[in-house]
C-alpha cells in the first residue's frame, strides 16, 4: 500500500484494535483501490478514505424480553448506519450469538460498495443482535423481534434506513418486526424489505441472493465461452442463500454435490436433485431441523459432523468445477483454498459475505481461479430489496417475471462493470479489484460532491 493509504489503515487499527473482521474487510478493499487513489488527480480520494471506514452513526441498544418460562432475558442490539451518500442506509439484520461490533462493521462496510454496484439509490448499513434463534419457540422469536423493533423504530424509516434479513432473520422475523414498527409509528411504509407478499414484499426477494449468485456465475462463465450445464458444484450452507443457489444451479443443468449447516456437512456424490432440495427446504424452513437427518432419508450420502475447530472443512475437499460458499464469513481458510484448487475448481462465487479469508483469496489469485467476491456476487439480494422499495413507493407489485428479468439485468451489469474496472485499473478478471474500484468510485464521488461528509 502507498504511504497515505497505509496511514488510513494504521489509524483504524489504532482506533479500533479489537475488530479483526473489520480490519480484514478494510485491508482487502484498500489493497484494491490503492493504485487508483495514489496519483494525481485522484489523490483527492484519500480525503474520503477515513470517512468511509467511520460509520456515519452507530446505535447500540438493550433488548429486554421474557422467555416462555417467564425468565427475564437481555440481548444487545446494533444498527450501523455506515454511509448514506447514495441513498437511505440499506442492509440486513443478523440474529446470531456471534454478532458483535466488528462483524457488523465489516458487513456494513462491504454493504456500501455492494449497494453501489447494484446501480440503485441505496446507502449502506447493517444491524442485528447477539440473539441465538436456535431452539427458541415461535412465541419467543416474536417477543424478541417486538422488543428489538421497539428501540430500532426510533432510528429507521423508509427514507432514512431500510433494514432486511440476513443470517437468522427471514420472512417470519421480518413479519414480526414490520408488525411492531407499524404499531409504534402508526404508519404503513416500506421500512423493511423481504416482507410477505400480501403486505408489500416483492416477488423473487426470497430467491434473489441465490438466483443472483448463479446469474453472476453464468455471466462469468459466458465471458470464458462456457456455461453451468453439467458442472459439478460445491455449495455450503442450507439457509436462504444456499437453498436458492442450489435451485438455480439445478434449473441450469448443473449438479450439486454438497450442502452444510453449523453442525456438519453433507456430501452426496449422486447429486442433490429437486426432490432432495425440497426435503432439505422443509427440514430447515418448516421443521427447523439439522441436516444430519438427511442421511436417514438418503443413506447413500455422507454426513460429516463438525465442531468448527477443525483445520479444514471436508466440504471443500471434493472434486468439482465450481464452488459457492453460502454460509458465513471466513468459512474458507488457506487449506480449504488449496483443496479447492487441487480438486479442479475453476470458479468460486461468494454467496456469503467474506467467506474466504485473506490467505485463501491469495491462493485463488495465484492459481488463476475465477473468483467473484461477495460484494459483487451476492448483490442480487439487496438489489431486489431496492426493487421492493420502488414497488412500495409506487404502491404497486411487479410480476415474478418482471422482477427476475430486472435481477438478471442487474447481475449482468455488475459483471460488465467489475470486468471493465478490472481491465482499466487492474488485471483482466481480477474481480476483487474490479468490484472494489467500481463500487468505491461512485461512493467517493458522491461524498466529495456532498462536501466530504
Residues forming contacts to ligand NDP in the complex (CB under 6 A) are: 92, 165-168, 209, 237-242, 260-263, 308, 326-328, 331, 351-353, 378, 381
Using CB under 6 A, which of 9, 78, 83, 90 touches ligand 2IT? Answer: 90
Query: Of 209 and 436, which CB lies nearer to ligand NDP in the complex structure?
Result: 209
Among all chains, which residue has been given the C-alpha cell 422475523? 173
Task: Choose the one of ligand 2IT, ligand NDP, none that binds residue 90, judging by a C-beta under 5 to 8 angstroms depending on kind.
Answer: ligand 2IT
CA distance 233 to 227: 13
Q: Which stretch binds ligand 2IT (CB under 6 A): 75-83, 84-92, 298-306, 321-329?
A: 84-92
Residues between 179 and 238 with contacts to ligand 2IT, criterion CB under 6 A? 193
Q: Which residues touch 286 (CB under 8 Å, ≥6 apart)? A: none
CA dihedral sign of residues 14, 20, 21, 23: positive
| Torsions phi, psi for 44 (to 5 deg) | -60, -30
Q: How many residues bind ligand 2IT (CB under 6 A)?
A: 12
Report the helix count and the strand count for the chain, using DSSP H and E: 16, 12
Task: Choose the one of ligand NDP, ligand 2IT, none that binds residue 262, judging by a C-beta under 5 to 8 angstroms depending on kind.
Answer: ligand NDP
Q: Does residue 118 belong to the site contacting ligand 2IT (CB under 6 A)?
A: no
Single out the residue of 76, 102, 101, 94 nearest to residue 20, CA to CA.
102
* Residue 126 among the catalytic residues: yes
CA distances from 311 to 86, 125, 306, 356, 365 (A): 41, 33, 11, 14, 22
Q: Cβ distance 249 to 235 under 8 Å?
A: yes
Query: Of 237 and 381, which CB lies nearer to ligand 2IT in the complex structure?
Result: 381
Closest approach of ligand NDP to the CB of residue 239, in Å = 2
Residues between 146 and 185 with contacts to ligand 2IT, criterion CB under 6 A? 164, 166
Task: Choose the one of ligand 2IT, ligand NDP, none that binds residue 91, judging by a C-beta under 5 to 8 angstroms depending on kind.
Answer: ligand 2IT
Query: Of 347 and 382, which CB lies nearer to ligand 2IT in the complex structure?
Result: 382
Q: Of the listed 126, 143, 195, 346, which one is catalytic?
A: 126
Q: Which residues touch 382 (CB under 8 Å, ≥6 apart)? A: 90, 91, 92, 111, 114, 115, 118, 122, 164
CA distance 421 to 414: 10
Q: Which stretch binds ligand 2IT (CB under 6 A): 25-33, 88-96, 140-148, 293-301?
A: 88-96
Task: Choose the one of ligand NDP, ligand 2IT, none that binds residue 216, judging by a C-beta under 5 to 8 angstroms depending on kind.
Answer: none
Using CB under 6 A, which of 55, 87, 92, 360 touches ligand 2IT? Answer: 92
Burial 116-136 (b: 16+ CB within 10 A, else e): bbbbbebbbbbbbbbbebeeb
Query: Of 161 and 261, which CB lies nearer to ligand NDP in the complex structure?
Result: 261
| Torsions phi, psi for 303 (to 5 deg) | -115, 130
Task: Choose the one of ligand NDP, ligand 2IT, none that binds residue 239, judging by a C-beta under 5 to 8 angstroms depending on kind.
Answer: ligand NDP
Task: Choose the one of ligand 2IT, ligand NDP, none that binds residue 392, judging by a C-beta under 5 to 8 angstroms depending on kind.
Answer: none
Running DSSP on this structure, what letter comes out for residue 379? T
Query: Of 9 and 371, which CB lies nearer to ligand NDP in the complex structure?
Result: 371
Using CB under 6 A, which of 385, 391, 419, 432 touches ligand 2IT? Answer: 385
Closest approach of ligand 2IT to the CB of residue 335, in Å = 26
Using CB under 6 A, which of 382, 407, 411, 435 touches ligand 2IT? Answer: 382
CA distance 209 to 92: 12
Q: Cβ distance 321 to 346 under 8 Å?
A: yes
Q: What HEC string does 237-256 produce? A: CCCHHHHHHHHHHHHCCCEE
Strands (E), 130-194: 161-165
| Torsions phi, psi for 87 (to 5 deg) | 160, -175
Task: Choose the one of ligand 2IT, ligand NDP, none that binds residue 388, judging by a C-beta under 5 to 8 angstroms depending on kind.
Answer: none
Query: Of 5 and 357, which CB lies nearer to ligand NDP in the complex structure?
Result: 357
Residue 275 burial (10 A CB sphere; 0-12, 13-18, 19+)? exposed
- Residues catalogued as catalytic: 126
Q: Which residues contact ligand 2IT (rule: CB under 6 A)?
A: 90-92, 111, 114, 164, 166, 193, 353, 381-382, 385
Amino acid at each position: 500500500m502507498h504511504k497515505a493509504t497505509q496511514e488510513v489503515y494504521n489509524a483504524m487499527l489504532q482506533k479500533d484494535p479489537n475488530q479483526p473482521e473489520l480490519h480484514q474487510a478494510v485491508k482487502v478493499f484498500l489493497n484494491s483501490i490503492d493504485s487508483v487513489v495514489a496519483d494525481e488527480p485522484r489523490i483527492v480520494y484519500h480525503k474520503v478514505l477515513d470517512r468511509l471506514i467511520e460509520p456515519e452513526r452507530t446505535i447500540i441498544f438493550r433488548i429486554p424480553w421474557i422467555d416462555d418460562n417467564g425468565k427475564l432475558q437481555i440481548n444487545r442490539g446494533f444498527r450501523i448506519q455506515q454511509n448514506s451518500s447514495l441513498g437511505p442506509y440499506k442492509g440486513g439484520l443478523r440474529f446470531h450469538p456471534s454478532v458483535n461490533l466488528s462483524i457488523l462493521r465489516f458487513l456494513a462496510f462491504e454493504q456500501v460498495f455492494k449497494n453501489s454496484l447494484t446501480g440503485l439509490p441505496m446507502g449502506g448499513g447493517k444491524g442485528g443482535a447477539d440473539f441465538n434463534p436456535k431452539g427458541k419457540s415461535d412465541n419467543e422469536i416474536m417477543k424478541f423481534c417486538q422488543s428489538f423493533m421497539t428501540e430500532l423504530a426510533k432510528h429507521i424509516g423508509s427514507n432514512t434506513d431500510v433494514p432486511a434479513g440476513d443470517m437468522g432473520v427471514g420472512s417470519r422475523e421480518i413479519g414480526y418486526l414490520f408488525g411492531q414498527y407499524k404499531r409504534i409509528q402508526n404508519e404503513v411504509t416500506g421500512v423493511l424489505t423481504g416482507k410477505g407478499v400480501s403486505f408489500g414484499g416483492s416477488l423473487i426477494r426470497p430467491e434473489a441472493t441465490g438466483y443472483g449468485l448463479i446469474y453472476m456465475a453464468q455471466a462469468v462463465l459466458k465471458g470464458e465461452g462456457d456455461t453451468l450445464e453439467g458442472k459439478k458444484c460445491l455449495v455450503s450452507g442450507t439457509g436462504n442463500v444456499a437453498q436458492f443457489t442450489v435451485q438455480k444451479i439445478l434449473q441450469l443443468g448443473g449438479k450439486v454435490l454438497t450442502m452444510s449447516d453449523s453442525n456438519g456437512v453433507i456430501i452426496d456424490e449422486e447429486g442433490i436433485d429437486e426432490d432432495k432440495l425440497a426435503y432439505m427446504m422443509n427440514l430447515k424452513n418448516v421443521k427447523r431441523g439439522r441436516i444430519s437427518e438427511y442421511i436417514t432419508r438418503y443413506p447413500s450420502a455422507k454426513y460429516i459432523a463438525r465442531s468448527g475447530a477443525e483445520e479444514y472443512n471436508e466440504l471443500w475437499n471434493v472434486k468439482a468445477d465450481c464452488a459457492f460458499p453460502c454460509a458465513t464469513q471466513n468459512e474458507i481458510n488457506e487449506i480449504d483454498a488449496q483443496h479447492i484448487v487441487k480438486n479442479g475448481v475453476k470458479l468460486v462465487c461468494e454467496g456469503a459475505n467474506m467467506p474466504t479469508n485473506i490467505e485463501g483469496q491469495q491462493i485463488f489469485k495465484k492459481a488463476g481461479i475465477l473468483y467473484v467476491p461477495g460484494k459483487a456476487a451476492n448483490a442480487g439480494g439487496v438489489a431486489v430489496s431496492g426493487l421492493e422499495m420502488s414497488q412500495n413507493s409506487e404502491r404497486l407489485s411487479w410480476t415474478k417475471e418482471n422482477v427476475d428479468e430486472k435481477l438478471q439485468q442487474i447481475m449482468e451489469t455488475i459483471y460488465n462493470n467489475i470486468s471493465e474496472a478490472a481491465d482499466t485499473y487492474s488485471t483482466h478478471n481480477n474481480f476483487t479489484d474490479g468490484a472494489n474500484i467500481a463500487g468505491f468510485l461512485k461512493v467517493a464521488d458522491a461524498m466529495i460532491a456532498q462536501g466530504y461528509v
